[in-house]
Amino acid sequence: MITSYYDKENRRIVQVGTVSNPGFWDNHWKTNPVKVYSRKHSFVLPIIKKFLKKGRILEGGCGLGDKVYLLQKKGYEAIGVDYAKETVEKVKNLMPSLDIRFADVRQLPFSDEFFDGYLSLGVIEHFYSGYGQIIKEMRRVIKKGGFAFVGFPSLSLLRKIKIKRNFYPLWEEKEDLVNNFYQFTLDHNKVINDFSREGFQLKHLYLCDAVKGIKDEVAFFKRPFQFIYDKQSLYSKALKYGVSRIFSWFGGHLALTVFSKEK
């Protein structure tokens, strides 16, 4: 069971209960259906296409490599890395045409300015030591004028209201909690400032996935929104799209930031 705390000093929510490490992700991707490769679309593809028409792109923390697969199908030279070793081997066996490599996003095995773009979805929030080294490696491997597409759980207006009303217990750094750390929910303004200090310029901010953002935070909506969230029918997809279009400004779970590396 995941428990959320508010870290007042660092302006973030800390979630504990499941240890986020390579073993966890190997187990997580074991239960993920292989049909991910049959998907023809990802919400992030049009955004990438808008800023980066072609070129070499890295996905850091690629999991099963489904977005690497989609990017490759769209004509990009796509490479994925993940530090979950069993998952990387699984993908190599299932999809040998994909360039998926075992590596840590904090120490990438690529030369300087090797990529035109870098995709990171749901990665930077999973390191208790912070994401500073991840940003430095992004800056190193992205060409000048290249793009970083970075998504992470964000402190939505809904979550900020809950913080003001003391819905989350205050975070105290205790060994048993740290040892069971899962992820942070981050203040996107702070993340933007941290990227800016490393030589990145914000090009666009998208607030996304209000269905998850609301179902995770409001008990009344948990069951109906979970049903919508899990289903893959056209009807449920339309509902998810509609809810996100209307309510992401208020309850969006994910902040997707687009940065360019300064020339």
Residue 242 lies in a domain: no
Tally of structural domains, the chain? 1
Residue 2 lies in a domain: no
Q: What is the pTM of this model?
A: 0.94
CATH of the domain at 53: 3.40.50.150
Residue 214 lies in a domain: no
Q: Give, rounded to a whole angstrom, the gap between the first and last alpha carbons of the chain.
A: 45
Residue 53 lies in a domain: yes
Tokens of 168: 């989350």
User: Kind and range of the H or E element at 177?
Assistant: helix 175-178
Report how far apart, in Å, the C-alpha atoms of 119 and of each of 80, 159, 171 are: 9, 26, 30
Residue 239 lies in a domain: no
User: Which residues does residue 15 pair with via DSSP β-bridges, in sequence order?
Assistant: 4, 183
Residue 195 lies in a domain: yes
Burial, 109: exposed, middle or buried (Cβ in 10 Å; 0-12, 13-18, 19+)? Answer: exposed
Question: How do the pLDDT tens digits run along the chain, 263 residues long?
Answer: 899 999 999 999 999 999 999 999 999 888 665 667 767 778 899 999 999 999 999 999 999 999 999 999 999 999 999 999 999 999 999 899 999 999 999 999 999 999 999 999 999 999 999 999 999 999 999 999 999 999 999 999 999 999 999 999 999 999 999 999 999 999 999 999 999 999 999 999 999 999 999 999 999 989 988 888 887 777 777 888 898 889 999 999 999 999 999 97
Tokens of 74: 């769209």
Tokens of 2: 């995941």
Range of the domain at 37: 16-155+176-209+252-261
Residue 203 lies in a domain: yes
Residue 167 lies in a domain: no
Residue 17 CA to its chain's centroid (Å): 19
